[in-house]
């Protein structure tokens, strides 16, 4: 294969939205880790701690639904937060097997202290774009994520996260998913 053909084939990747999104996610993570290196914290740990702060007493399943993280990963994340003293787990009142999550004073300090690094990361991600492009990019990004939510290994289930414990965790029925997609397509 000639060098020209190889570079054409390689440049084909740069036309694939999935490849570019993966690269942007790598860049966003690298920027976060650089800005927050003094805290030894990851973007997923931040999302989990932030959600626990804003939803005191939630369980791990609800946390998965709020931050759209798969259940196989959440246990490790919660374990690390607890080990660092940023959260505490308590037995649920109705079901002692369920662990309710609460932020600690150290967790509140972490959120407050890391806030600048998180904000700076968001600024740096969008900095190369012109102000109007930033708004457009964010609108399109939110829209694309919303429309493709059900294809995720861990779909965002914000409404389900705040549902009654009895209804929590049930996947939407096929007719409900189709109706949701039709409604989203009309927007």
Question: What does the pLDDT look like over 3-57, one tens digit per residue?
Answer: 455 567 778 888 899 999 999 999 999 999 999 999 999 999 999 999 999 999 9
Report the share of the chain in percent with pLDDT over 90: 62
Whether residue 140 is predicted with pLDDT greater than 80 in this model: the reply is yes
Report the share of the chain in percent with pLDDT over 70: 79
Query: 129: domain CATH number?
Result: 1.10.10.10
The rounded distance, in Å, linking the Cα atoms of 136 and 124 is 16
Q: Are 100 and 89 in contact (CB under 8 A)?
A: yes
Q: Are 57 and 100 in contact (CB under 8 A)?
A: yes
Q: Output the pLDDT for position 113.
A: 98
Where does 71-162 have alpha helices with state H?
Answer: 71-83, 105-126, 131-147, 158-161
Mean pLDDT over the full length of the chain: 84
* Confidence class for position 170, pLDDT limits 50, 70, 90: very low
Which has the higher per-residue pLDDT, 14 or 172?
A: 14
The rounded distance, in Å, linking the Cα atoms of 32 and 120 is 8
Q: Output the pLDDT for position 185.
A: 47
Q: What value does the mean pLDDT take over residues 103-127?
A: 98
Q: What value does the mean pLDDT take over residues 112-138?
A: 97
Residue numbers of the domain that contains 102: 3-186
pTM: 0.76
Q: Output the pLDDT for position 152.
A: 83
Q: What value does the mean pLDDT take over residues 53-63?
A: 94
| Total domain count, the chain | 1
Q: Output the pLDDT for position 158.
A: 63
Q: Output the pLDDT for position 162.
A: 47
Q: Read off the pLDDT of residues 149-158 as tens digits, 9 standing for 90 and up.
A: 888 888 877 6
């Amino acid at each position: 294969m000639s060098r020209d053909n190889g570079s054409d084939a390689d440049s084909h990747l740069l036309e694939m939205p999935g490849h570019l999104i993966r690269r942007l996610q790598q860049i966003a993570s690298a920027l976060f880790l650089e800005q927050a290196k003094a805290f030894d914290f990851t973007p997923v740990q931040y999302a989990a701690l932030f959600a626990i702060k804003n939803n005191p007493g939630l369980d791990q399943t609800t946390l998965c639904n709020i931050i759209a993280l798969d259940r196989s990963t959440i246990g490790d994340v919660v374990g690390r937060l607890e080990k660092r003293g940023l959260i505490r787990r308590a037995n649920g009142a109705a079901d002692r097997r369920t662990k309710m999550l609460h932020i600690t004073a150290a967790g509140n300090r972490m959120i407050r202290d890391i806030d600048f690094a998180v904000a700076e990361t968001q600024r740096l991600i969008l900095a190369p774009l012109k102000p109007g492009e930033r708004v457009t990019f964010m609108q399109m990004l939110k829209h694309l994520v919303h429309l493709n939510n059900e294809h995720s290994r861990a779909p965002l289930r914000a409404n389900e996260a705040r549902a009654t414990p009895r209804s929590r965790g049930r996947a939407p029925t096929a007719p409900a998913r189709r109706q949701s997609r039709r409604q989203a397509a009309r927007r």
